[in-house]
Structure 1
Amino acid sequence: MSTTSKQVARRIVAGVGLSALSISLAACSSTSNTSSDSGSGGTVHVLAEDISYTDNWKALLPEFEKETGITVKIDTVPYSDQASKVLLNFSQKSDAYDVVFTDNTYGTGYYQSKYVDDLTSLQDSGKDFSTFSDFYAPYISPMQKDGATFGLPVYGESTWLMYRKDLFEQYGIAGPPTTMDELKADAAIIQEKSGGSVAGITLRGAAGIQSVYPWAGFLRAFGGSFYNTDGKIDVNSPESINAASFWSDLLTQYGPAGVGNFDWEQNRIAFTQGKAAMTIDATANGPYNEDTSASTIAGKVGYAPIPYAIDNPPATGNTDNSLNVHALYLSSYSKNKTAAYKFMAWATSPDVQAKAVQAGEAVGVTANSVLDGPEYAQKYGAFQEAVLGQLKTGNPDYLPAGQDANTIITAVGQALSQTLAGEQSADSALNQAQKSLEEQLPQ
């Protein structure tokens, strides 16, 4: 178990009481499923993220319910509200929700806290829909440990470098940068040779998770982490300071006007409208780049790994690209586990995932056959190989985890904003963030 994984379990348990106090107890009060655990009929209650993948389930549910005799009730909430509601349900040992839908950071902690079950013994009951082997290995691996499989992946993403192939060719740059020094040099070449009409690079600069998510790649590119080897918060390490200073200088010198306020959407628009030559962000951005109805750079984008500043970068472990997987988990308190698992197997089945690709935006689907299928290749072929390559090396501990995660991300995001605005040096801002975190989160 990694140090961060241990922290997840500890923080999940520690945060239950606080989360429970922040939400009405009536929201998830314990109920009793009257159906037996035979898997035939009964009602399965699901707490899900409000996202297109869930919309796809709702559209197809009548087929599942007719075939199995199982009724499925899906409650959706925004992702930002989901963790507290799930924790409240678990803290009360409630069977109000049989299945919960959340990301692997929380899911690992839930499993370690015995809030969710190992699914291995139930796999046969859902084999008519899917089995563990149907999933792309990097997507299901974060939910597997010591022979157990405790989640079924719905969708996921990594991070990568996106760059303008046409501009690189126009200005004599042989290929994408492979080091952070090359990244900065390429940004300078394009900005200078374009007469400033194209920024060298654009990134999210807004405070909080907006800047921290892509910046975490810079942190790890310089060999850093949010924690030291003892698992204690370490956001002012030399590596962290170097990463923040480099990031700030890069955007100050070669970023577009107003970049300090850019969130994901503003950054995406700046890139897809040809305002910048490079960006680092989620693999989910690929379809937006190639959307000929909205992007001025469709067909002109290259996709590559995020460069490193350190020599001999890791191929696994503390890599500088993320691996975030949102999955379905079976509550340990469910009284209808077989039926619940059948829903999980159906909802993540190749057939249902294929229909998600056909119906809308679903670049993050997790089934091997769908990822290798003609519909996926037709929609996402421009970057299909790059996406799968990034997932293979993705870092599941890329961001802080557990109940302290938001506090850490907020503090680091504020430090980055202060550095980018020139209000403080990276050294001063991160030392202040470290002091604040040590006071708020005694180790």
Structure 2
Amino acid sequence: MTSRFVPLVALAAATVLTASGCAGAGSFGGDGGGTTITVAIVSNSQMSDAISLAPEFEAANPGVNLKFVSLSENEARAKITASVATGGGEFDVVMISNYETPQWAENGWLTNLSDYAQATPGYDEDDFIPSLKESLSYEGSMYSVPFYGESSFLMYRKDLVEEAGITMPAEPTWDQVAEAAAALDRPGVSGICLRGKPGWGEVLAPLNTVINAFGGRWYDENWNAQLDSPQVEQAVQFYVDLVREHGQAGAATSGFSECGTQLAQGNTAMWYDATSAVSVLEDPTSSTVVGKIGYAKAPSAVKGDNGWLYSWSLGIPTTSENPDDAWKFVSWMTNKEYLQKVGTELGWERVPPGSRLSTYEIPEYKEASAAFGQVTLDSINGADPLDPTVDPVPYTGVQFLTIPEFQDLGTRVSQQISAAVAGQISVQDALAQAQQYAEVVGKTYQEDQ
């Protein structure tokens, strides 16, 4: 797999590493002595909480100093991939996902963390939600460990839905969501917020689940590209029309963070996205709609159970010169005690969700997550990366394709979709270009057969 992955990042590596610098870097405990562990992390709210608590780790581990490189999602993906794939060695700990982990483990780029976990008293590797544990494993061992896990679901303002005389089912269809968005849309409050920002992990994350729901797929079982199929066109046209007609202003530049702010500040009535959003929506320090949000499973069409499976996890590149100290930090940020720490010090609604089974047995968390805890677990357990589509496919993954080329292919396709969301091109033209990109990748797999 290495021969497929490296060329996609090798040309960009120098540019990415030079341009990104250490944006967002922060370090503390820097007395000049001991070991410095450099951590590349995504700048989401849960990760910001970890940074705020990190001085407690340093106090408990004298001589181990932390330096964070905190970047936006797209920047983090590019910088981390470029560094790890080329053996750059800048980072001791990297925040990655179940997309990268099994592929990078096969390439020999990541340290086997099961060896560390089993040697760490009380860490309890088997407490991780089984589907997440499997998705972060290669040949039976974990090569990254989850900080949080997520699926996707529909979030909606219960009060606005009731005022409009709408009944939101626990398992809605996309047609029902579109009808609700039209009814809820009003000056100052959009009917729905959906990602339109370019990026394989931005607009394509929710959109791919819609494609799956409508019976579409990226490739047939023989690696023939299918992005210009009627099913895919119907799904993408539906998505683009929905967000253009009843979505937020500036949709083409809206990602997870932007939509989260829209709903938390009362500027939209619904949002379809990651289950981890509850950490923002149910936090009174960041949200004006605490207790007003209802949660429903990912909408269906031809296919049900369309929630994705994803984890922001921590791995240790094999290039790290300090893997033992790196593991001390990784295990601190992903153990049971950390979850208790967040709950007691920052609030139970801010506990990173979806990683450990035991989290859902903590009385305080069960109370705080009464509205969303069970639907989160059900959505994670219902996601099926091995069988994500109606018709058979040669790849795995729900909101992404677990192939090395998808970082580049998905980014290129997402740029076309984002342009359609912005009204710059038609959906048909966007998919015609996307089909050409997909055909190039498909042919390389056909040649290997």
TM value normalised by structure 1: 0.77
* Aligned position for 1:431: 432
Alpha-carbon deviation of 1:89? 5.1
Partner of 1:58: 54
Q: Which of 176, 184, 205 lines up with 1:182 in the alignment?
A: 176
Structure 1 residues 17 and 147, CA, compared in 2 at 3 Å: closer, same or farther? same
Counterpart of 2:435 in structure 1: which amino acid?
A: Q
The change in CA–CA distance for 1:94 and 1:205 in structure 2 (over 3 A counts) is closer
Quote the Cα distance in structure 2 between the aligned partners of 1:189 and 1:398.
28
- Checking the alignment, whether the CA contact within 8 Å between 2:150 and 2:354 is kept in structure 1 is no
**Unpaired segments of 5 or more residues in structure 2?**
22-33, 386-396, 445-449
What is the correspondence of 1:116-131 to structure 2 with a 5 Å cutoff? Answer: 116-128=110-122, 130-131=123-124
Q: 1:218 aligns with which of 210, 218, 229?
A: 210
Q: 5+ unaligned residues in a row in structure 1: which ranges?
A: 1-5, 29-41
Q: Report deviation, 1:161.
A: 0.4
Relative to 1, partners in 2 of residues 1:342 and 1:233: Cα closer, same or farther, differing over 3 Å? Answer: farther
Larger Rg: 1
Matched, 1:203 2:163: no
What is the aligned counterpart of 2:130 among 118, 133, 137?
137
Find the counterpart in structure 2 of residue 103 from structure 1.
97
Q: Return the letter of the residue paired with 2:362.
A: G
CA 1:125–1:97: 2 relative to 1, 3 Å: farther
Cα shift at 1:242: 0.9
Is contact 2:105-2:138 (8 Å) kept?
A: no
What residue in structure 1 maps to residue 353 of structure 2?
364
Equivalences for residues 71-110 of structure 1 within 5 A: 71=64, 73-78=66-71, 79-83=73-77, 85-87=79-81, 90=84, 97-110=91-104
Q: Distance in 2 between matches of 1:300 and 1:102?
A: 32
Query: Contact 1:271 / 1:277 at 8 angstroms: preserved in 2?
Result: yes
What pairs with 1:263-282 in structure 2 (closer than 5 Å)? Answer: 263-282=255-274
CA shift, 1:277, in A, is 3.0
Give the SS at the match of 2:193.
coil
Distance 1:77 1:245, change over 3 A: same
Give deviations 1:149-170, integer Å, cap 9, x for gaps: 2222122332210122233333
Q: How many residues align?
A: 409
Sequence identity (%): 26
Deviation of 1:271 (Å): 2.9
2:315 corresponds in structure 1 to 329
Distance in 2 between residues matched to 1:186 and 1:97, nearest whole Å: 46
Note the C-alpha offset of 1:49.
0.8
AA matched with 1:416: I
CA-to-aligned-CA distance 1:209-231 (integer Å, 9 cap, x gap) = 54333222212211223344345
Aligned amino acid, residue 335 of structure 2: S
Per the alignment, do residues 375 and 183 of structure 1 end up closer, same or farther by CA in structure 2, a change over 3 Å counting?
same
Indicate the residue corresponding to 1:22 in structure 2: 15
After TM superposition, the structure 1 stretch with the greater mean CA deviation from structure 2, 55-64 or 91-100, is 91-100
Compared CA separation, residues 346 and 171, structure 1 to 2 (3 A)? closer
Determine the C-alpha separation between the residues in 1 that align with 2:178 and 2:241: 9
Which residue of the partner structure matches residue 392 of structure 2?
none
* Structure 2 CA distance for aligned equivalents of residues 425 and 100 of structure 1: 38
TM-score (norm 2): 0.76
Residue of structure 2 aligned with 1:300, choices 292, 309, 318: 292
| 1:390 and 2:379 correspond | yes
TM superposition shift of 1:325: 1.2
> Residue 340 of structure 2 aligns to which amino acid in structure 1?
A
Using the alignment, how far apart are the partners of 2:406 and 2:289 within structure 1? Answer: 36
Aligned to 1:12: 5
Alpha-carbon displacement from aligned partner over 1:267-320 (angstroms, at most 9, x marks no partner): 334434444432212223224333446544332221011211115x3x5xxxx3
SS of 2:99's equivalent?
helix
Q: Name the structure 1 match of 2:142.
A: 149
AA in 2 matched with 1:150: Y
Structure 1 residues 18, 359: CA separation in 2 closer, same or farther (over 3 Å shift)?
Answer: farther
Deviation at 1:253, TM superposition (A): 3.5
Q: Is the 8 A contact 1:241 1:427 kept in 2?
A: yes
1:169 and 1:404, CA in 2 relative to 1: closer, same or farther beyond 3 A? same
- Counterpart residue identity of residue 106, structure 2: Q
Distance 1:163 1:344 in 2: 35
Structure 2 distance, partners of 1:350, 1:387, is: 19
Q: Distance in 2 between matches of 1:92 and 1:200?
A: 44
Classify the secondary structure of the residue corresponding to 1:126: coil
SS of residue paired to 2:312: strand
Alpha-carbon distance in structure 2 between the residues aligned to 1:188 and 1:95: 50
Higher RCO (C-alpha 8 Å, min separation 6): 1
CA distance in 2, matches of 1:198, 1:95: 46
Cα deviations by residue, 1:159-196 (Å, 9 ceiling, x for unpaired): 210122233333333333622222223333444xx7x7
Aligned to 2:106: 112
Give per-residue Cα distances to partners, 1:392-435, cap 9 Å, x unaligned: 23445412456644433343333334434555442232112322
2:119 alignment partner, SS class: helix
Paired residue secondary structure (2:103) = helix
Aligned partner of 2:330 in structure 1 is 344
Q: Post-superposition shift, 1:93? A: 5.3
8 Å contact from structure 1 (residues 48, 54) kept in 2: no
- The separation in 1 between residues aligned to 2:90 and 2:281, in whole angstroms, is 41
Name the SS for the 1:104 alignment partner: coil
Are residues 1:353 and 2:339 paired? yes
Kept after mapping to 2: 8 A contact 1:98/1:334: yes
